[in-house]
Amino acid sequence: MFEGFETAQVDVGEASVFVRFGGEGPPVVLLHGHPRTSATWHEVAPLLVRAGHTVVCPDLRGYGRSRGPEFTADHEGYSKRAVAADVVAVMRRLGHHRFALAGHDRGGSVALRLTLDHPQSVSRVAFLDCLPLTEHLSRITTEFATQWWHWFFFAQPDIPERVITADPDSWYRGDPETMGQENYEEWRKAVRDPDVVRAMLEDYRAGLTVDRGHEEADRAAGARIACPTLVLWSLKDDLEDLHGDPRTIWSSWADDVRGHGIDSGHHVAELAPRALAQALTDFFRPDPGGPAPS
């Protein structure tokens, strides 16, 4: 995977972030979701390099080979604010102060926080199969609670760790044929690590507590995303079925929203990498007469 890419373990203070990076040109950051690692982008990242980008793929704090601080009752150490700050620090270490950004699933929540907290760092942002956490929570229905029950199970103390680590292969059910063998092996090693499992659960615990508070504060303050925003969703997943057109919801957060569905299941980077790479390439290309993404 990632032929021609380099890897590094970047110390950003309270966390150590594993990152893959390669290519030349305007920088793009790709943020994975749960329970994947940066390896999920193994087909998309080379296509973006071929399109003329520097591509940076970190493991989110606590996922894969990245490590975070000790776990605390307030979950602050695994908040999206903390993870977003990791990404900014890694990019500055690599020499990039402004970049385009795409986040899938939980990585989309990090991308939202990064864009709101560090607007000067983000030229364009793409949200893949996600909504702001508070938008999900304000729309809880029987269908949502039934299909997304894991959000609330993961938030429980202690029990999820015991259940998942008893048989992580059965819990997560990865498939080497669809994931790609190397991606599968990296992912499988990660989810068998109890520290990674705990960190992934802390991500969800933070989502229902501290992250929710941060988003509510943003709404109260009238904070909005000013840069161009792309919304993509998987047509074979349930986001649109549960909540309607995601672009409509994102339009209450961002000034310039565009996007469309992709014929794929949830893990779009693995199931429809060419369609996703093309959509991102088109979006990251500068508008006619407009400034190029830097």
Mean pLDDT of 203-231: 97
Confidence of residue 285 (pLDDT cuts 50, 70, 90): confident
CA distance 105 to 96: 24
Mean pLDDT of 260-282: 97
Task: Report pLDDT digits (tens) over 71-99.
Answer: 999 999 999 999 999 999 999 999 999 99
Mean pLDDT of 155-175: 94
Count of other CB atoms within 10 angstroms of residue 14:
14
Confidence of residue 286 (pLDDT cuts 50, 70, 90): low
Mean pLDDT of 247-276: 97
Verify whether residue 105 is a known catalytic residue. yes
- Of the listed 34, 118, 243, 266, which one is catalytic? 266
Question: What pLDDT does residue 292 have?
Answer: 45
Verify whether residue 42 is a known catalytic residue. no
156: phi then psi, degrees, rounded to nearest 5? -70, 145
Mean pLDDT of 226-237: 97
Contact 183/270 with Cβ under 8 angstroms?
yes
Domain 6-284, architecture per CATH: 3-Layer(aba) Sandwich (3.40)
> What is the residue-averaged pLDDT of the chain?
95
- Of the listed 59, 86, 105, 237, which one is catalytic? 105
Closest by CA to 229, choosing from 148, 119, 117, is 119
Confidence of residue 289 (pLDDT cuts 50, 70, 90): very low
Pairing of strands 99-104, 257-262: unpaired
Question: What pLDDT does residue 248 have?
Answer: 97
Pairing of strands 229-234, 27-31: unpaired
Say what the pTM is: 0.95
CA distance 134 to 68: 25
CA distance 53 to 24: 5
pLDDT > 70? residue 137: yes
Q: For the chain, give the percent of residues with pLDDT over 90.
A: 96
pLDDT > 90? residue 293: no
Contact 127/95 with Cβ under 8 angstroms?
no
pLDDT > 90? residue 294: no
Side chain identity at residue 133, one-letter code: L
Q: For the chain, give the percent of residues with pLDDT over 70.
A: 97
Domain ranges across the chain: 6-284
Burial of 28 (0-12, 13-18, 19+ CB in 10 A): buried
